[in-house]
Amino acid sequence: MKNESKKTRTECDLLGCVEVPDNVLYGVQTMRGLENFAISKFRLCEYPRFIEGLAIVKLGAAIANHAMGLLSDELFGAISQACREIMAGRFHEFFPVDMIQGGAGTTTNMNANEVIANRALEIMGHARGEYQYCSPNDHVNCSQSTNDTYPSAIHLGLYATHLELRRHLEALIAAFARKGDEFARVLKMGRTQLQDAVPMTLGQTFHGFASVLRGEVDNLDHAAQEFLSINMGATAIGTGICAEPGYAERCTAAIREITGWDVTLAEDLVGATSDTVCMVGYSSAMKRIASKMNKICNDLRLLSSGPRCGLNEINLPPRQPGSSIMPGKVNPVIPEVVNQVAFRVIGNDLTVTIASEAGQLELNVMEPIIVHCLFESIEMLINAMNTLREKCIAGITANEEVCRRMVFNSIGLVTALNPYLGYETSSMLAKEALKTGKGIYDLVLEHKLMSEEELHKVLQPENMVHPRKKIGE
């Protein structure tokens, strides 16, 4: 941690004594975690929702313990104030531990216990480290184990973060829908297998983007709902050892009141303590979104390809010069970066799946990598959604004349004429168009298969992009 004091205080644990900088709220267990787990550049302090989740479960435990006579009024007042301050965003800089750690999250749990205890000591007028007055283990961690507080905090932190992701997803969907409305009259060629298919509107394309993402909102909500089941009171393995009867229910009720969410106690605490499948489910829901965003961004890149030698049906907002050697080149950099986010989210999902499967007996010690992957995926998806919406979707324009010209030059146009001319005649026209390079429109008139007026009516956009009866019926 930066700006640590040269002045120290001595704190001791099972393994011996450690000098702790005097100006920090954490203690000996956090110091050991910092020494042992210099693994990544991702620190707990960068994930405020997780820290808030830790503070919420500690506050819920304190409320239950106080009601059951296990904490004095003074201790309860100080611990609860410390928890609420952390929930309000204070002291997060004192959570410096690596997100990836051994010990099933014990380092994270003790980091929270020490910060809360030392802040409580300050509130009560004692010095940091005077744990005889407020102990990280005996008081802040009373009736708890890492194995119930850590996963419960994860669930609460992830649910809060889910609500943020949901809002950004809905904003992205709305942006696509607005473009769908804007481009409702722009006729273009649809394609299957990268080949000309049948006419459609550019508005239908963008409404399609909105639709496929809209379907993921409910799926995401369903997956997140499982986060509201927690295992507080399970303690070490789900048997509730070191907790008094009724504590689990009291603690859960307190957490439900603190959050305002429908938080429930897991039906089987032994099963819940080792089960991480709810995180697998949420990761999978994010993977679905990432997969769809990846496809959409690939489509945007294809539709904007060119400008002279590609499809060039739409223009993406130019964001930077595209080459150090090719003057005038502008690349689709925003869809490209979203593509890469999608790859990362999909990769994280594999990690989550493997880590969940790796649980053994009464505990899954791989939860730290699971939670890291989930928080990273959510954060990257939020940033990607905002970047795509603000820096790309909002500024897309249509090359309407290019789109229309492609439709009328396309052999795929013959499909719209199939109900009027029949399959054999339409096939003949397609073959001749391929051989001569002529357009279907011109060939129909040349062979006097339809009048110009009839052809014009059939090829009106509104007559080609929806199911309808034959013209003239």
**Residue-range domain boundaries for the chain:** 8-142, 149-231+260-400, 410-464
DSSP 8-class letter at 38: -
427 is catalytic: no
Q: What gap in Å lies between CA 260 and CA 309, rounded to an integer?
A: 56
User: 315 phi and psi, to 5 degrees?
Assistant: -115, 125
Query: Considering 5, 40, 72, 323, which one is annotated as catalytic?
Result: 323
Q: What gap in Å lies between CA 84 and CA 161, rounded to an integer?
A: 19
pLDDT at 411: 79
- Is residue 143 within 8 A of residue 251, CB to CB? The reply is yes
pLDDT at 180: 97
User: pLDDT for 298-311, tens place per residue?
Assistant: 999 999 998 888 99
pLDDT at 92: 97
Q: What gap in Å lies between CA 374 and CA 348, rounded to an integer?
A: 7
Is 397 strand, coil or helix? strand
What stretch of H or E contains 189?
Answer: strand 187-192
User: 158 phi and psi, to 5 degrees?
Assistant: -70, -35
Please tell me the CATH code under which domain 149-231+260-400 is placed: 1.20.200.10
Contacts of 196 (CB under 8 A, 6+ apart): 189, 410, 411, 412
pLDDT at 473: 56
pLDDT at 417: 82
Across the chain, mean pLDDT equals 92
pLDDT at 457: 81
Q: pLDDT 10s digit of each residue in the chain, 473 long?
A: 556 667 999 988 889 999 999 999 999 999 999 998 989 989 999 999 999 999 999 999 999 999 999 999 999 999 999 999 999 999 999 999 999 999 899 999 999 999 999 999 999 999 999 999 999 999 999 999 999 999 999 999 999 999 999 999 999 999 999 999 999 999 999 999 988 888 899 999 999 999 999 999 999 999 999 999 999 999 999 999 999 999 999 999 999 999 999 999 999 999 999 999 999 999 999 999 999 999 999 999 999 998 888 999 999 998 887 776 776 778 889 999 999 999 999 999 999 999 999 989 898 999 999 999 999 999 999 999 999 999 999 999 999 999 988 888 877 778 878 888 889 998 998 899 889 988 888 888 999 998 888 888 887 766 667 676 666 65
pLDDT at 103: 86
Q: What gap in Å lies between CA 365 and CA 358, rounded to an integer?
A: 8
Structure tokens at 173: 């969907």
Q: How many residues does this entry show for the chain?
A: 473
CATH fold of 8-142 reads Fumarase C; Chain B, domain 1 (1.10.275)
Same CATH fold assignment for domains 8-142 and 149-231+260-400: no
Q: Residue written as tokens 């004095």?
A: 72
pLDDT at 4: 63
**Quick one: the chain helix, strand, coil %, rounded to 5?**
60, 10, 30
Span 410-464 CATH architecture: Orthogonal Bundle (1.10)
Taken in order 313, 317, 319, 325, the sign of the CA dihedral is: positive
What stretch of H or E contains 230?
Answer: strand 229-230
pLDDT at 464: 67
pLDDT at 472: 60
Find, among 68, 242, 78, the residue nearest to 149 by Cα. Answer: 242
